[in-house]
Amino acid sequence: MSSSSPSSTARQVTRPTRPPAGSAPDPDELQRAQENAVVALLDVPAVADELAARFAARGHLLYLVGGSVRDAVLRGTGASTRDSGDLDFTTDARPEQILAIVRGWAEAVWDTGIAFGTVGLRRDGQTLEVTTFRADTYDGTSRNPEVRFGDTVEGDLVRRDFTVNAMAVELTGSHRRFVDPHGGFAALAQGVLDTPDTPERSFSDDPLRMLRAARFVSQLGFTPAARVTAAMTAMADELTRITAERVQAEFTKLMIGDHPRRGLELLCDTGLARHVVPEVPAMQLETDEHMQHKDVYTHSLVVMEQAIERETDGPDLTLRLAALLHDIGKPATRRKEPDGRVSFHHHEVVGAKMTRKRLRALKYPKVLVDDVCQLVYLHLRFHGYGKGEWTDSAVRRYVADAGPLLERLHRLVRSDCTTRNRRRASALQRNYDGLEDRIAELRKQEELDAIRPDLDGNRIMELLGIPPGPAVGKAYRHMLALRMEQGPMDAEQAEVALRAWAAENL
């Protein structure tokens, strides 16, 4: 049975004493008042109190830890937060004791993490994870720790990634106690990201924490402590110990955060980007003596920010990745022309191939990879639109090639205008307004979003008297090209066109 006596670092939640009139407020009293407010803001579901009662009845401690505590403190400072939905707990009970406590109460239990002291469970639609106090050691060459269970909450909290995540609230006492041995409350109030232990030891234990630091910069807008940035820079190569799947998960969270530019800049400044998206820092090209091109790196970050401003339904990972990577083909295609100009011919083609290689290496799903690559490939096509000289067939091809990505392509192309020349910027936006107007007009006349040949494969075989095979595909592609070029045809016109083509090609 575990002792429930409060530690020196755990502050009981009590009503602060009002200082005598005219006296200066006691800093400790102010701190306690703030912490009381945090605990009051902590929205603990009834299911957590039920669980705590079961642990207390068996003589064990149960602490709420992690994001729910951090977010309660953030709410106390007036910051907006996103609730994760899941609840994380730590306890002095060993895994087999946790299983005994939740047996018959939890609706579902999974023990896939039991070797690391974690028991997952579900109750009343809520997912909960309970982990035994940990006091692990690491071998310094892999992510796998030598699992050792601890006896105190303070020992558990010191091994967590950042001080803002190293706070806990005890639920099993007569009243809730806020536990903050590493100054996480003050760090949150100041917007500083630091580690409970030295950052060198913390990052050596799990190098992914360096990428997680950039993710928290993106999500919460924090500034890493100087010692954290220094350790990230010195230990960037340690990230190679981490699997691509784990890297991708953190990078995705960074990209859909509220401040992704800040997170990306931290990755590039510390050298971590070399092991995640090396093509991004590679865009930091030197400006030539004629000032013929922008800093492609900065331009890409601005385009991403402008694309984010055009989002309508929350973070759009596909659009953000396309905006970030749309110009990664420029370094490889940079050429100095005889007249002194700098060109990047076909950088959209090269960039799409580079994007596919990088996203595949990060183990992104095929659908997302295909969509991002297509946006990168198409992002430059509008610049051939000039002052509206495109034929209707060119507009049809633009819509057909974009397919379901058309709205994203609109946002990407408009965001790609970062010129400070207001007249030129206005002209580009007007031109794109004109293109969108033409798309809308053609949509009224034709089924632009589902362009198909006027004759399908079965009708082609019937008219030409041929079996399934390559000839049918050739005829179908010809009719599709004709549809793009001339617009819709009636059945008689389509049949005449097909027979004329077949007479010369079959």
62-95 pLDDT tens trace: 999 988 888 887 875 556 555 556 799 999 999 9
H-helix segments, 403-447:
406-415, 422-445
What is the helix (H) or strand (E) element at residue 127, kind and residue range? Answer: strand 126-132
- As a dihedral over the C-alpha atoms of residue 274, residue 314, residue 374, residue 285, rounded to 10 degrees, the angle is -40
Give the model's pLDDT for residue 155: 92
Counting Cα atoms < 13 Å in the Cβ hemisphere of 86 gives 10
Residue 473: CB atoms within 10 A of its CB come to 12
Give the amino acid at 47: V
Rounded to whole angstroms, the Cα distance separating 224 from 221 reads 10
Say what the pLDDT of residue 94 is. 95
To the question of pTM greater than 0.85 for the whole model, the response is: no
Selection from 211, 78, 205 nearest residue 147 by Cα: 205
Residue found by looking up tokens 């970050």 in the block: 301
Q: Residue 6, SS3?
A: coil
C-alpha dihedral sign at 247, 249, 250, 253:
positive
pLDDT of residue 311: 96
Query: Which residue stretches of the chain have pLDDT < 50?
Result: 1-19, 288-293
Supply the pLDDT for residue 323.
97
Nearest to 76 by CA among 109, 30, 119: 30
The tens digit of pLDDT for each residue in 89-102 reads 999 999 999 999 99
Helices (H), 446-490: 457-464, 470-486
DSSP 291: -
Q: What is the pLDDT of residue 209?
A: 97
Q: Is 472 within 8 Å of 455 (Cβ atoms)?
A: no
Residue 329: half-sphere exposure toward Cβ, Cα within 13 Å? 24
Burial tier of 133 (Cβ tally within 10 Å: 0-12, 13-18, 19+): buried
Best CA proximity match to 98, nearest among 73, 117, 115: 117
Domains annotated for the chain, with CATH where assigned, are 1-190 (3.30.460.10), 277-450 (1.10.3210), 457-505 (no CATH)
